Amino acid sequence: MTSPRPTTPDGVDESALAQRARDGDVQAFEALYRLTAGRVFALCLRMARDRERARELAHDVFVRAWEKLPTFRGEAAFSTWLHRLTVNLVLERQRSERRRAAHEVSNTDRDAELGTRPEEGAMLHLVRHDEGERLDLEAAIRTLPPNARTVFVLHEVEGFRHEEIAESMGIAQGTVRAHLHRARRLLMEYLT
Amino acid sequence: MSTTGHDTRAKGAGPPDRHPEWERLNDLADGRLSGHDAREVGLHLSSCSECRVQLDALRSLAEGAAMLPRAIDPPDGLWDEISASIAAPHSRRRSRPTALWLAAAALALMVLSSGLTALYMQRAGNPAGTLATGGARVPQPAVVGILPASFIETERTYLTSVAEVEMIFAAQRAALTPETVAIVDRALGAIDTAILEARTALLADPANRALADLLETSYRQKLDLLRRTAALHQSS
C-alpha cells in the first residue's frame, strides 16, 4: 500500500509538479512558484527588512531552486525543501554582506545595526500609530539588528529549533539564545 | 512595561524575593528551565506581579509572532523576472522550450526586431530609404561601405555559429510539426530582415555604436532561436 501523494489544500499535486519541473517543464515550475512565492517572499521580507532587497532575494531563491531541482529527490515536500533553500540563501547573502560591510564600518553602519537611524524610527512610529497590531509587530521586527532579527524570525515566526538555527548560521546555540533574548527585549521595549 | 529592570538584578535565580535575570525568565517562557530552577523562579513569580507581567508579555510576543501571516504577496512581475533568468543563456540549467513558448518568443522577436530598427531608422532619417515591418518589405542595401573593424570579428563568429546551428535545424525540420516549422521560419525571417536593416545602417554610419549593438543583438537572437528550436526537438 502506498501513501497518498502530498497535495496542497487546493488539491494541487505538488510532488507531480516538482517532478515535471525537475524534468525541465517551466510551466510546472511556474505553478510551483504560484503555490509557494508568498511564503518565500514573506520570509525574505522579514529577514531582509527592505522590500526591494526581499524581491531580489526571492528572485534568487527561485532561480537557485530551478538550478538545484535535479538534486531534489522528493523525500520531503517541495515546499519544505524550498523553505530550507530560502533560509540558506538568505543567510549566505547576509554573511557575504557582513563581510563586505566589515571593511566599511562607519557610524552610519553602526546606527543601522542598532536600528537607531532617526528617520527610520520616525517612519516606523508612523506605521505603529496608523496601522494595526500585526503591522506593529512587523514594523518592530524590522528595527531589530540583523542577527537578532534573523534568529527571532526563524525561531518565533518560522518555528525552527535553536539547534537548527545554530547550524544554519554557523554559531553556537548559546549565541542563538542570546540573540533571541535580545530581540525579545528590544521588541518589548519598542512595542511598549 | 519595562524590561530594563532585569538587567541590573542579581545573576541566577537567587533567593525567591529577588527578580530572576532576563535570560532565566526567557528560558522559563520557552519551557527550558529544569526542575529546581523552574520551581525557584515559579516561587518568585507567585509573589511578584512585575515579573508575572514580564512573563505574560514574553508569551504574548511569541503568540503574536506565531500568528503572523505565513505568506505575503510577492511584487507583480517577479515571475517574469525569474522566468527570464532561468531561460537566459548563462543560466546553469536551461528551461525546456515548449511550442507555446516558442510561439510567444517568435512573436516577441518579430515585434522587437522590427520595432528597434524602425525606431533607429526614423531617428537617423531613414538612410537606407527602406523601412520593414514584420518582414513585409525587405530593405535593399542602398549604401555600400565597410563595417567597423571591431565588428568584423564579432560578425564572423556569429555567422559561424549560426551556420552550425542552421545545419542542425535543417536536419531536424522533418521531425518538427508543420506549425512549429512555420513559427520558426516566420521568426527567422523577421530576424533576418532586422539583421539586414541594421547592417545596412551600420555600413552607412560605421562609428555608430548603437547600430553595432543592434546588429549584434539581432545575430544573438537568431542564434538563440535556432538553439532553442534544436533543444525543442531533442526534448520532444
Say which of A39, A157, A177 has its CB closest to residue B65: A157
Q: Categorize the per-residue pLDDT at B146 as very low, low, confident or very high, splitting at 50, 70 and 90.
A: confident
- pLDDT of A46 reads 94
The Cα–Cα gap between A137 and B222 comes to 52
Chain A residues within an 8 Å CB radius of B1: 188, 192
Helices within A23-77 (DSSP H only): 26-48, 51-68
- pLDDT of A119 reads 35
With CB atoms and an 8 Å threshold, state whether B26 touches A181.
yes
Say which of B65, B78, B86 has its CB closest to residue A55: B78
What is the per-residue DSSP string for chain B? --SGGGGSSPSSS-STTSPPPHHHHHHHHTT---HHHHHHHHHHHHH-HHHHHHHHHHHHHHHHHHTS-S--PPPTTHHHHHHHHHHSTT-SSPPPP-HHHHHHHHHHHHHHHHHHHHHHHHHTT-TTS---STTSSPPP--------HHHHHHHHHHHHHHHHHHHHHHHHGGGS-HHHHHHHHHHHHHHHHHHHHHHHHHHH-TT-HHHHHHHHHHHHHHHHHHHHHHHHHHH-
With CB atoms and an 8 Å threshold, state whether B66 touches A157.
yes
Give the best residue of A63, A176, A182 to mutate against chain B (max B CB count within 10 A). A63
Cα of B35 to nearest chain A Cα, Å: 20
Chain B residues within an 8 Å CB radius of A133: 64
Do B21 and B6 touch, CB atoms closer than 8 A?
yes
Say which of A29, A40, A55 has its CB closest to residue B75: A55
Task: Please indicate if any CB of chain B lies within 8 Å of the CB of A132.
Answer: no
Q: Which residue of B has its CA nearest to A158?
A: B66
Rounded mean pLDDT, B170-188: 80
Q: Which residue of B has its CA nearest to A37?
A: B74
Cα of A33 to nearest chain B Cα, Å: 8
Instruction: Examine the pLDDT at B136 and tell me if it is beyond 60.
Output: no
pTM over 0.80: no
- pLDDT of A54 reads 95
Say which of A29, A42, A181 has its CB closest to residue B22: A181
With CB atoms and an 8 Å threshold, state whether A63 touches B83.
no
- pLDDT of B32 reads 87
- pLDDT of B205 reads 82
- Residue-wise pLDDT tens for chain A (192 aa)? 344 455 555 667 899 999 999 988 999 999 999 999 999 999 999 999 789 999 999 999 999 999 999 999 888 999 999 999 999 999 999 888 877 777 665 444 444 444 433 333 333 333 344 345 666 899 999 999 999 999 999 999 999 999 999 999 999 999 999 999 999 999 999 988
Which three cell numbers mark A70? Answer: 535535479
- pLDDT of B94 reads 56
Which ipTM score applies to this complex?
Answer: 0.78
Which three cell numbers mark A184? Answer: 525579545
pLDDT in tens, B78-119: 999 998 888 865 566 655 555 555 565 566 655 555 555 555
Q: What is the mean pLDDT of chain B?
A: 74
The Cα–Cα gap between A23 and A6 comes to 19
- pLDDT of A160 reads 94
Q: Is A13 helix (H, G, I), strand (E, B) or coil?
A: strand
- pLDDT of B114 reads 55
With CB atoms and an 8 Å threshold, state whether A63 touches B72.
no
Q: Categorize the per-residue pLDDT at B184 as very low, low, confident or very high, splitting at 50, 70 and 90.
A: confident
With CB atoms and an 8 Å threshold, state whether A39 touches B1.
no
- pLDDT of B110 reads 58
Cα of A105 to nearest chain B Cα, Å: 28
CB pairs under 8 A between A and B: 112
Task: Please indicate if any CB of chain B lies within 8 Å of the CB of A29.
Answer: yes
With CB atoms and an 8 Å threshold, state whether B3 touches A137.
no
Q: Which residue of B has its CA nearest to A21?
A: B95
Give the best residue of A40, A131, A156 to mutate against chain B (max B CB count within 10 A). A156
Give the best residue of B72, B98, B101 to mutate against chain A (max A CB count within 10 A). B72
With CB atoms and an 8 Å threshold, state whether B1 touches A45.
no
DSSP conformational letter for A172: -
- pLDDT of A64 reads 95
- pLDDT of B105 reads 59
Q: Which residue of A has its CA nearest to B78?
A: A59
The Cα–Cα gap between B133 and B131 comes to 7
